[in-house]
Amino acid sequence: MTTDQSHDELHAMAKRREVRLVPGSLVNLLEFDLASLTAFCELLGEKRFRAVQLFRWIHQRGCANFEDMSDLAKSLRQKLKGVSEIRPMTVVSQHISSDGTIKWLFDVGGGNVIESVFIPEDDRGTLCISTQAGCAMGCRFCSTGHQGFSRNLTTGEIIGQLWFAEHFLRKHLQRDERVISNAVMMGMGEPLQNYAALVPALRMMLDDHAYGLSRRRVTVSTSGLVRKMDLLGLECPVALAVSLHAPNNTLRDYLVPLNIKHPLEELMPACVSYLAHAPRDFVTFEYCMLDAVNDTDALAIELVQLVKHYGHSVSWCKFNLIPFNPFPASGLHRSKPERVLAFARILSDSGITTTIRKTRGDDIDAACGQLAGDVVDRTRVAVRIARQRSAEPAAALLAATTVAKV
C-alpha cells in the first residue's frame, strides 16, 4: 500500500467514525473501538492481535506515548507515529468538593467546554459523562438546556473523559486496579441524539480489553428519543434511565419539550419494550423535584397510576427523585425536603422502589452544566486564563479526596 493510498483509506475511515480531520493531520486513536482499531492496524499491514495490544496500552494502561509501548516492535511504533496519535482533550479546570466529588471541564474547541464529574461512594466510583457540547432538548430545569446546542462530541471525546478520569485517578491515588466502576451518560447533552458516536464509546466501556465495565454498570439516560431507545436495546443494551419529571403530557410538554414529539403514550411502551434487552429488569425514571410544579401528592398518585397502566406490576421501574439545583434563568425552585419525602412515601407505599438522590459536590458548583455555561459565556481569551489558573496541584487536592475501593 502506498502512503497516498494509506492516507485516502485513513480519511475514509475517519469520515465513517465522524472524526474531523485536516488533510495531513494524525488520526486520534481514541476515536476507535476495537473493531475500528483492528481495521486500522490491518490498513497498516499489521496483524489483528497488534490491535488488541495497542488497545490495551491505550485504554487499560492509559498510555499516550507509542515509545512506551514496549511489547510493540520498534518498526510498528514508528509507523504509528507517522499516521496517528493518542490525543486527549485539554483540561480547562478541575474542582474538588469537600465530599470528594471532582468536576473537570474539558476544552473541545470552538470556545466550547464540557463537564465530567467523578462521584466516589463507599461501594463504587461513578463517572458522569457528557455526550454533546450543549443540548438541543431545552428541558426547563436544566442549565445545559438553557445554553443551547453547539455540537455532538466525537467517540474519542466521549471515551476520552473516561480515559482521562480513570488514569488520572489511578495515578494520583496510586491505585493499580480500577477506580471507576460505573459510567453514566448523564452529563451535558442528550446521548441518544448523538447515537452514532455514542455506541462505539459504550462498546469501549464494556470491552474487557479496555475498561471491562458490566452492562449493568453503564447507564444511558435519555429524555425520551423512543426510536433510538429501541435501537440501543438491539445494538448495545446497557442500563437505561429516562428523564420523566411529570406524570402527564400537559406538564411534561412544559418541562421536557421533546414530549410534544414523543408523548407518554409512545415513551412508556418504549421503556417497557427495552426491558426485553436490558441488563437489569427495571428502567430507572429520573424525577427532578420542582417546588409547586411537579411535587404535589396528587401528581405522585398520578405517577403511580401511570406506572400501573403500563406494567403488570410496579416492579418494572424504579424512581430516583432528584433535588433541583437552582440557577437564575430557570425561574424554578427546589422542593422542600419534607415535600420530597412525602412524594417519595406515596411512591414507596404503592410498591415502587424509590430513592432520593443525595446532592454531591454542592460546594464546587450548582446545576449540572452551569459551570460550563459560565465558561462558554466568557471570551476565548478568558478560557485561556481560566486554564492557566487551573494549576492547583492535583496531588495536593486529591490528598483530601477519599475514594472507596470498588
Which position among 142, 192, 271, 352 is part of the footprint of ligand SF4 (CB under 6 A)?
A: 142
Q: Judged by CB, which is closer to ligand SF4: 189, or 247?
A: 189
For residues 192 to 231, the per-residue mask of contacts with ligand SF4, x marking binding by CB under 6 A and - elsewhere, is -------------------------------x--------
Q: Which residue has the cell 448495545?
A: 236
Would you list the DSSP string of 93-127?
A: EEEE-TTS-EEEEEE-STT-EEEEEEEEETTEEEE
Q: How far is the CB of 135 from ligand SF4 (least distance, A)?
A: 3
Task: Give the nearest distance from C-beta 136 to ligand SF4 in angstroms.
Answer: 7
The residue from 142, 288, 317, 368 that is catalytic is: 368
**Closest by alpha carbon to 371, among 381, 361, 385?**
361
Q: Any bridge partners for residue 149, and if so which? A: 134
Stretch that binds ligand SF4, among 44-52, 185-193, 234-242, 247-255 (CB under 6 A): 185-193
Enter the C-alpha cell of residue 99. Answer: 465530599
Least Å distance, CB 258 to ligand SF4, is 7
Indicate the residue among 101 and 222 with the shorter CB distance to ligand SF4.
Answer: 222
Identity of the residue, 145 or 373, whose beta carbon is nearer to ligand SF4 in the bound complex: 145
- The beta-carbon contacts of 230-234 under 8 Å, at least 24 apart in sequence, are 230/270, 230/273, 230/274, 231/195, 232/192, 232/195, 232/199, 232/274, 233/273, 233/274, 233/276, 233/277, 233/278, 234/277
Q: Which is nearer to ligand SF4, 36 or 144 (CB)?
A: 144
Assess whether 368 carries a catalytic annotation. Answer: yes
86 binds ligand SF4, rule: CB under 6 A = no
Residue 138 CB, nearest approach to ligand SF4 (Å): 6
Nearest by Cα to 180 from 133, 104, 257, 125: 125
**# residues near ligand SF4 by CB under 6 A:** 12
The least CB distance from residue 114 to ligand SF4, in Å, is 11
Among 115, 190, 207, 365, indicate the residue that binds ligand SF4 (CB under 6 A).
Answer: 190
Q: Distances from the Cα of 390 to the Cαs of 90, 182, 206, 394, in angstroms?
A: 11, 27, 32, 10
Q: How many residues does the chain have?
A: 406
- Cβ-based nearer residue to ligand SF4, 93 or 132: 132
What Rg value do the Cα atoms of the chain yield, rounded?
A: 22
Q: Which of 31, 46, 115, 157 is an active site residue? A: 115
- Read off the C-alpha cell for 7: 492516507
Q: Is 142 annotated as catalytic? A: no
What residues form DSSP beta bridges with 102?
96, 118
Residue closer to ligand SF4 by CB (options 28, 144) is: 144
**Residue 294 is a binding residue for ligand SF4 (CB under 6 A):** no
Nearer to ligand SF4, 166 or 190 (CB): 190
Report if residue 139 touches ligand SF4, rule: CB under 6 A: yes
- Give me the residues paired with residue 354 across strands: 319
Between CA 358 and CA 354 the distance in angstroms is 13
Query: Is residue 191 part of the contact set for ligand SF4 (CB under 6 A)?
Result: no
Q: Which stretch binds ligand SF4 (CB under 6 A): 119-127, 136-144, 273-281, 378-386?
A: 136-144
CB of 130 to ligand SF4, least distance (A): 9
The rounded distance, in Å, linking the Cα atoms of 111 and 375 is: 9
Residue 113, C-beta contacts closer than 8 angstroms, at least 6 positions apart = 92, 105, 106, 107, 133, 372, 375, 376, 383
Using the minimum distance from each CB to ligand SF4, give the nearer residue, 361 or 373.
373
Residues 233-252, mask of contacts with ligand SF4 (x by CB under 6 A): ----------x---------
Q: Binding of ligand SF4 at residue 137 (CB under 6 A)?
A: yes
Among 88, 120, 189, 361, interactor with ligand SF4 by CB under 6 A: 189
Instruction: Output the smallest distance, CB 116 to ligand SF4, in A.
Output: 14
Element (H, E) at 220: strand 218-222
Q: How far is residue 252's CA from residue 303's CA, in Å, rounded to a whole number?
A: 12
Catalytic residue IDs:
115, 368
The residue ranges that bind ligand SF4 (CB under 6 A) are 135, 137-139, 142, 144-145, 188-190, 223, 243
